[in-house]
Chain A
């Protein structure tokens, strides 16, 4: 605060000058400039109040001899009084100046001036509404009874004017010319957080004139978007979709806001991510392909920038779950083709990935699984297919529906018959899209060996942690590190969750496995993701579920 007070004098001069220029905000130019500066001015007022409340009235006058002028100018500006919390802070500032026991005529004068200002802000009718004052007074009402109703009616009248315009643009009687709509959006920008303005904000957002260019003020969009992100205003989905479609910077800001929330929240479980996602309204809004594409592009950049960070992968997956859910709710029939959402991926691939595993009996999952794996493999390995965008696009689509790779890992272990190699390929591919076929061949060979050892152990009557650890290949005698340790860990963890005696040795195996913090985090991520997927798919697996939950809780305590 001391620092704030140091910066105050120069700010003070600036705002004094601004306020003089603005006057009572009667011309369009001064109004524009006022509206643009309202948030900063509120911040200045706040700092001013923090400084004032520490001083007594006479010190204030000594340090800021023109404070009265400054506050008076602010009190006379209706935009300042109507904006957010400015009127409240202004009142607080005035309260700081008042003398409890004025000692001389100067102090008395100051007191009565402050009282005049407060009365100007808080009571008495505006000069232009005298006749209304008399009327309400005779009825037995006070201004407090009158203003809310008047504002409601003014807003409703503007809303119906806009609607009429919208429906019947040639009706000359109540036509609002584009310039008037534009200036309405400008005037409204500082007022939108007043609950009374909600219908008008909605009407403006959904209003499209006949002019090709945007008629609303960019500042209006900014203000609505900021207020929405800060939860100072609640609007129906349709209005928000209009906002984001009409003003891309707002959409970008909304996605970045979501990212920031995800990053700043500690220990993200997928449930939490889901809450943030739904709260952002982005998955629902993404039912509109233009919005989906924009959000998806931002996810793509995040993925590339972080080199495929698991947190980003998880966020994309949860986003897709929520998006698909919203899409199903939106309409029984898809309004837009899948191609519009995923223009770079093979439509038939998207079709199969989109199949909700929940809709398929668990016993039949191997069919789509094999289908997906083979199709992907064909696309990735066929040069002609990925001539334009490379295997990355296929991988990026798979990432959205990452649940399928996890299902593959489970089925590799649990299927009664010998599992097809394609599933293993899918699992390896889901780890990395990079085309190093030799690497992938190695990883698959390793995976295959581990898998066959683990499958054998499934049938053994007694299990020991050492056996499992050995099966996972750590003691195979090969001095080279495995090509894809992640794949092996994934198979081992699934083994622990599903093998009949898995729960007795799980902790020991995990201790052997989790040699670094990074691996511990990976295991936590796996357990969280698995539990989330089981919930989503309504999987009945009480023993495995219990074990996974316990392990997750225990591991989280340690990090």
Chain B
């Protein structure tokens, strides 16, 4: 076991080096050995896929390693993130070497000879590196061809293939990190929040919260019996994180389109409660401009009436429990304000009136 873990450590180092200029000192023999190592680890993946104890040990080691090299730091290098990644570690290594201009000509030549032996001999074998690389190239180009012709893009955000794929990867990664870290993936999420463009990340989070819990995800994993069957676990982690990070939750509710937040709220009651709280809070910041006869913001960052109304309206168009709770909440706010029926005195009265006439 210990030697296996050491092997893993060595290979992780090789992989880390493979992206640096240090490869300039590699000769053909080094390249060959590195690929052999990767092949060996792939074999380990196949051999111990069902072996829970070994898998868990390897997974822990990989995770610690990933954290050490700065997996959550700004300059991190994606490496082997999980046991599953071992399945394609040879692919990963090959791609890095192919892309690394520091690799010398002789070493590169030998790399090509090993990766692309040409037609014939190896083709009958179950899965060659040559085949996997070509398949990847085909898939990339197929994606490109479809996008070139405007397919696979949609205005409905949660159905957008790019966002959806990111969401699936996010959930898968959250499960892996969640298993390896005692306190769950919370710190990991926060580090992502700091490093990624916020709007894109929020969209991905929303899409992840909307993925059907029955979707067979992550794909192709017959080998790993204890891998989570549903993304439910990962999306629960996301909910916990959002509930703990009130400022991020506020940005989430504020910057995403009303319909999208409504859908998320419909799926996650805890988030709905927070959203409703935020909406009423935002409403309290508005005051009535007697001269213009409209509700206006006190400060520039306040939510304007139109947006507030739009968000309430979207919730009221959602299926029943959401709509009823929203109306009850508005009614109780209105009661607290004195239960006026005349417009211009309480924003809740006006909102209810507008919603009724708008519906």
Contacts and interface: CB of A to CB of B under 8 A. Distances in A.
B95 A143 contact: yes
A194 interface: yes
B105 interface: yes
B140 A135 contact: no
Nearest to B109: A100
Interface in A101-140: 101-102, 108, 111-112, 115, 118-119, 121-124, 126, 128-129, 131-132, 134-140
A36 to B, nearest CB: 15
A142 B119 contact: no
Nearest to B199: A131
B216 to A, nearest CB: 11
B352 to A, nearest CB: 30
Contact of A187 (B71, B91, B145): B145
A154 interface: yes
Contacts of B113: 95
A197 B152 CA distance: 13
A370 interface: no
Interface residues of B, number: 63
Contact of B151 (A101, A126, A143, A158): A158
Interface in A139-198: 139-154, 157-158, 174, 183-184, 187, 190-191, 194, 196-197
Contacts of B71: 140
B77 to A, nearest CB: 9
Nearest to B146: A154
Given A95-B112, A111-B105, A150-B161, A82 B145 contact: yes
B152 A144 contact: no
Contact of B145 (A79, A87, A92, A102): A79
Given A87-B137, A157-B161, A194-B142, A119 B98 contact: yes
A528 to B, nearest CB: 34
B162 A151 contact: no
A213 interface: no
Given A100-B106, A115-B98, A140-B66, A194 B138 contact: yes
**Band of interface residues on A:** 35 or more
A92 B119 contact: yes
Contacts of A25: 148
A53 interface: yes
B197 A131 contact: yes
A149 B133 CA distance: 16
Contact of B141 (A81, A91, A142): A81
Interface in B114-145: 116, 118-119, 130, 133-134, 136-145
Contacts of A111: 105, 108
B142 A151 contact: yes
A118 B219 CA distance: 28
Given A100-B105, A135-B204, A149-B165, A154 B143 contact: yes
Contacts of B201: 135
Contacts of B170: 139
B139 A151 contact: yes
B134 A147 contact: no
B152 A121 contact: no
B136 A101 contact: no
A243 to B, nearest CB: 21
Interface string B73-89: 00010110100010010
Contacts of A333: none
Contacts, number: 189
B95 A152 contact: no
Contacts of A99: 105, 109
Given A88-B134, A100-B109, A142-B95, A154 B140 contact: no
A78 interface: yes
A126 B118 contact: no
B105 A147 contact: no
A134 B81 CA distance: 16
A196 B139 contact: yes
A233 to B, nearest CB: 14
Nearest to A100: B109
A144 B143 contact: no
The residue in A92, A140, A158, A184 that gathers the most chain B C-beta atoms within 10 A of its C-beta is A140
Given A154-B151, A157-B161, A135 B166 contact: yes
A187 B165 contact: no
A82 B142 contact: yes
Contact of B161 (A112, A148, A153): A153
A144 B99 contact: no
Interface string B142-162: 111111110110101001011
Interface in B213-254: 219
Contacts of B96: 123
Contacts of B149: 31, 183-184, 187
Interface string A20-42: 00000110000100000000000
B323 interface: no
B95 A123 contact: yes
A197 to B, nearest CB: 8
A157 B152 contact: yes
Contact of B165 (A81, A100, A150, A183): A150
Nearest to B218: A149
Given A139-B192, A183-B149, A98 B136 contact: no
Contacts of B148: 25-26, 78
Contacts of A137: 78
Contacts of B182: none
Interface of A: 25-26, 31, 53, 78-79, 81-82, 85, 87-88, 91-92, 95, 98-102, 108, 111-112, 115, 118-119, 121-124, 126, 128-129, 131-132, 134-154, 157-158, 174, 183-184, 187, 190-191, 194, 196-197
28 contacts: A78-B141, A82-B138, A87-B141, A92-B116, A95-B112, A98-B109, A111-B105, A115-B101, A123-B96, A129-B162, A134-B196, A136-B166, A140-B66, A140-B71, A141-B169, A144-B88, A144-B95, A145-B169, A147-B136, A150-B162, A154-B143, A154-B146, A154-B151, A157-B152, A158-B152, A184-B149, A191-B145, A196-B139
